[in-house]
Amino acid sequence: MKKILKAKGFKMLTALVLTYIIIQVLVSTNIINDYMQATLVTIFINIILAVSLNLITGFTGQFSLGHAGFMSIGAYTCALITARIPTTWGFILGVLAAAIVASIAGYLVGLPTLRLRGDYLAIATLGMSEIIRIIFINMDDITNGAAGLLTKRFVNWTWLFIFTVITVYFISNFLKSTHGRACISIREDETASEAVGINTTKYKVMAFTIGSFFAGIAGALYASYFYVIKPDIFNFNKSVNILVIVVFGGLGSLSGSVVSAIVLALVSSFLQAFSDVQMILYSLLLIIIMIFKPGGLLGSRELSIAMLGDWRAFIGEKFKALRSRKEKKTTAKEDLDNDPVENK
Amino acid sequence: MTLLKINKLTKSFGGLTAVANVNMEINKGELVGLIGPNGAGKTTVFNLLTGVYRPTHGTITLADGSQEIALEGLKPHKICSKGLARTFQNIRLFKELTVLDNVRIAMHKNVAYGLLSGFLHLPSFKREEDRLVEESLRLLEIFDLADKKDELAKNLPYGEQRHLEIARALATKPKLLLLDEPAAGMNPAETMRLSEIIKRIREKFDLTILLIEHDMSLVMKICERIYVLDFGMVIAKGTPEEVKTNEQVIKAYLGEGVEDA
């Protein structure tokens, strides 16, 4: 029993349950009102998107600008299914189908494009997601073209909470497995990775497929909460926004993506009060943070309870360093003052 | 018994022939040196053997029991799974990862759990991961790196990075180990220690080793046979004694004497 209580998984579970209870209390006392609930849902969707893109870009090192494309495939798949089966079971079926269709699309897109590297890959994935968007605009009879589809709401924030936890859990488990390490080794050095027997093409495509799988889920959740989906929601801007969350949180840090999705959503909802200069402030904030923390909020580290302890030590150390620097400065100054005039 | 046979191996880059008609034979258990002046094509030979380059002509065959496997044209990871492992001239570690991870990643092809177990962390995952850590530590022990297992590879001193690269290559369980200038940048004491380690791992893992090296003291001391490459061609082969006195080798390294100067 003691062992169970001490296990890492148990601590995590407790933290999650506590988080859920706190949010639930806030919601039922209407401190989190309907408008804020929409922000909450956006945060969860963004976490799923960012974590899955981080697997592709942060951990496997494949720069993708097409994540919104896979999200849109999930959204449309789920919306079309729930339109025919408008029940919770229809929604569950829709999410599964969305994930599978999106991952198949990810596989088909990844296979040819992942031969490219760096900027070329970014441009190719960008092009692919634009193609997906144009296809949705032009499939008038099924997707209702540019006007989009009206959907019903099948989920509340609890569903989103559950799906987000599952996503983060699966991706973090994957990264700790030998398959995940194979992906990370590709980011580190592709040539060396091949040389130690890792089929780099296979693992790049695998990361891309898994990332698309979860992007599909995010799309399905979007379609099942917000009442309308249209191709323009999933444009280039959306892909960039997801990438911003990932880079801001730290490439190669899952908890970074989670924290950054929360922070950025809070910041932008706070900035809505200054609607004229909202985007300017938002961009400025991003620039300032990237200047001072170029590796993102968490770099490639993961947030943990032990780290909070470290932080205190870290701040203490910084403080000490600052003081000693000041002291040095003053002593240096004194030295300068005391410097005999011999040099003259 | 011949382990590796290279027949008329040629590689041209456009108009430049980097490796021309190279024939080599490496017997099982041998420690063979590959030397030559800068730009002679030694590393190109390694890159051809490990699949980084595709040969223009020629064959590379690896004996596997009674079978013979053609290696030319295979992808690097396939060649690695046939039993060839290598280190790089300019160290290529997974720099941002720990020492332990560097070795564990190289054991990838021998891991016996599937993707599902990776996602769900089933019992088979735990069992295999424990085995990986244990085996990795045993390997690191040989190089005195076990107590640095949680250090990032980039933070190791230079000499230890070279050792880690060899450990990583060994983690793939190779039959033939290719070392590309393992002693480059090492001081004499470090080189000495390296030659001890090479001898030790060779016995322990029943290895065949082919190494490129510029440090002649190391080559002459540990290699049983030597191939000398110049301008992409084998100009001499034999025991260290034979090679040392070979006129063509001396010419390649020191240049031709000018008689009427």
Gyration radius of chain A over CA positions: 24
Cross-chain Cβ contact A194/B76 below 8 Å = yes
The predicted pLDDT at position A340 comes to 46
Residue A2 lies in a domain: no
Asked if residues B89 and B183 have their Cβ atoms less than 8 Å apart, the reply is no
Find the mean pLDDT for residues A140-155: 89
The predicted pLDDT at position A283 comes to 87
pLDDT in tens, B107-150: 999 898 999 999 999 999 999 999 999 999 999 999 999 999 99
Find the mean pLDDT for residues A274-279: 82
What pLDDT band is residue B84 in, cutting at 50, 70 and 90?
very high
Cβ-based interface (< 8 Å): residues of B facing A: 50-52, 75-77, 80-81, 85-86, 88, 92-97, 101, 104-109, 111, 113, 115, 117-121, 125, 128, 132, 168-169, 171-172
Sheet containing B84-86, strands listed edge to edge, beginning at the edge strand earlier in sequence: B84-86, B176-180, B208-212, B31-35, B225-230, B233-238
The predicted pLDDT at position A342 comes to 42
pLDDT in tens, A86-119: 999 999 999 999 999 999 999 999 999 988 888 8
Counted domains in chain A: 2
Residues A189, A173, single domain; the answer is yes
Average pLDDT taken over every residue of chain A:
87
Q: Which of B85, B61, B64 is nearest to B73 (CA)?
A: B61
Residues A110, A217, single domain; the answer is yes
Residue A214 lies in a domain: yes
Distance CA B185, CA B181 (A): 9
Which residues in chain A are contacts of B113 at CB distance < 8 A? 177-178
Using the CB atoms, write b or e for B101-117: b if 16+ within 10 Å. Answer: bbbbbbbbbbbebeeeb
Cross-chain Cβ contact A174/B119 below 8 Å = yes
Which residues in chain A are contacts of B101 at CB distance < 8 A? 181, 184
Q: Domain range spanning residue A318?
A: 307-344
Q: Mutating which of A178, A188, A209, A302 best tests the B interface, going by the most B Cβ atoms within 10 A?
A: A178
What pLDDT band is residue B90 in, cutting at 50, 70 and 90?
very high
Find the mean pLDDT for residues A185-207: 95
Tell me which residue has tokens 């191939």. B227
Residue A114 lies in a domain: yes
Two tokens, residue B250 = 């001396």
Residues A87, A215, single domain; the answer is yes
Distance CA A136, CA A116 (A): 26
Distance CA A171, CA A180 (A): 9
* Greater pLDDT, B214 or A181: A181
Residues A289, A198, single domain; the answer is yes
* Residue B220 confidence (pLDDT) above 80: yes
pLDDT in tens, B224-250: 999 999 999 999 999 998 988 888 888
pLDDT in tens, B17-69: 999 999 999 999 999 999 998 889 999 999 999 999 999 999 999 998 888 89
Asked if residues B222 and B257 have their Cβ atoms less than 8 Å apart, the reply is no
Find the mean pLDDT for residues A239-255: 93
Residues A237, A92, single domain; the answer is yes
* φ, ψ of residue A182 in degrees (nearest 5): -60, -40
In terms of CA atoms, which chain A residue is nearest residue B51? A195
Cross-chain Cβ contact A196/B118 below 8 Å = no
In chain A, the percentage of residues whose pLDDT exceeds 90 is 63
* Residue B70 confidence (pLDDT) above 70: yes
Q: Mutating which of B47, B94, B116, B131 best tests the A interface, going by the most A Cβ atoms within 10 A?
A: B94
* Residue A25 confidence (pLDDT) above 60: yes
The predicted pLDDT at position A9 comes to 76
Find the mean pLDDT for residues B73-84: 93
Distance CA A173, CA B118 (A): 7
* Residue A317 confidence (pLDDT) above 50: yes
Residues A230, A336, single domain; the answer is no
* Residue A282 confidence (pLDDT) above 60: yes
Find the mean pLDDT for residues B184-211: 92
The predicted pLDDT at position A325 comes to 67
Residues A191, A334, single domain; the answer is no
Residues A186, A312, single domain; the answer is no
* Residue A136 confidence (pLDDT) above 80: yes
* φ, ψ of residue B213 in degrees (nearest 5): -155, 145
Residue A7 lies in a domain: no
Q: Measured between CB atoms, does A182 come within 8 Å of chain B?
A: yes
Residues A343, A230, single domain; the answer is no
Distance CA B206, CA B84 (A): 13
Residues A339, A263, single domain; the answer is no
Is the Cα dihedral B118, B121, B124, B125 positive or negative?
positive
pLDDT in tens, A32-75: 888 889 999 999 999 999 999 999 999 999 999 999 999 999 99
Residue A10 lies in a domain: no
> Residue A122 corresponds to which amino acid?
A
* Residue A323 confidence (pLDDT) above 80: no
* Greater pLDDT, B112 or B102: B102
HEC string of chain A?
Answer: CHHHHHCHHHHHHHHHHHHHHHHHHHHHCCCCCHHHHHHHHHHHHHHHHHHHHHHHHHHCCCCCCCHHHHHHHHHHHHHHHHHHCCCHHHHHHHHHHHHHHHHHHHHHHHHHHCCCCHHHHHHHHHHHHHHHHHHHHHCHHHHCHHHCEECCCCCCHHHHHHHHHHHHHHHHHHHHCHHHHHHHHHHHCHHHHHHCCCCHHHHHHHHHHHHHHHHHHHHHHHHHHCCEECHHHHCHHHHHHHHHHHHHHCCCCHHHHHHHHHHHHHHHHHHHHHCCCHHHHHHHHHHHHHHHCCCCCCCCCCCCHHHHHHHHHHHHHHHHHHHHHHHHHHHHHHHHHHCCHHHC
Residue A314 lies in a domain: yes
Residues A155, A62, single domain; the answer is yes
The predicted pLDDT at position A328 comes to 62
Beta bridge partners, A149, equal A229
The predicted pLDDT at position A334 comes to 53
> Residue A5 corresponds to which amino acid?
L
The predicted pLDDT at position A311 comes to 62
Residue A50 lies in a domain: yes
Cross-chain Cβ contact A196/B96 below 8 Å = no
Asked if residues A128 and A109 have their Cβ atoms less than 8 Å apart, the reply is yes
The predicted pLDDT at position A177 comes to 95
Distance CA B95, CA A188 (A): 7
Which of A287-301, A316-330, B119-133 has the least mean pLDDT? A316-330
Q: What is the CATH number of the domain that holds A113?
A: 1.10.3470
Residues A284, A314, single domain; the answer is no
Is the Cα dihedral B96, B102, B104, B105 positive or negative?
positive
Which of A154-158, A159-163, A283-287 has the least mean pLDDT? A283-287
The predicted pLDDT at position A307 comes to 62
Torsion of CA B125, A96, A206, A265, to 10 degrees: -100
Closest Cβ–Cβ partner in A180, A191, A196 for B172: A196
Residue A28 lies in a domain: no
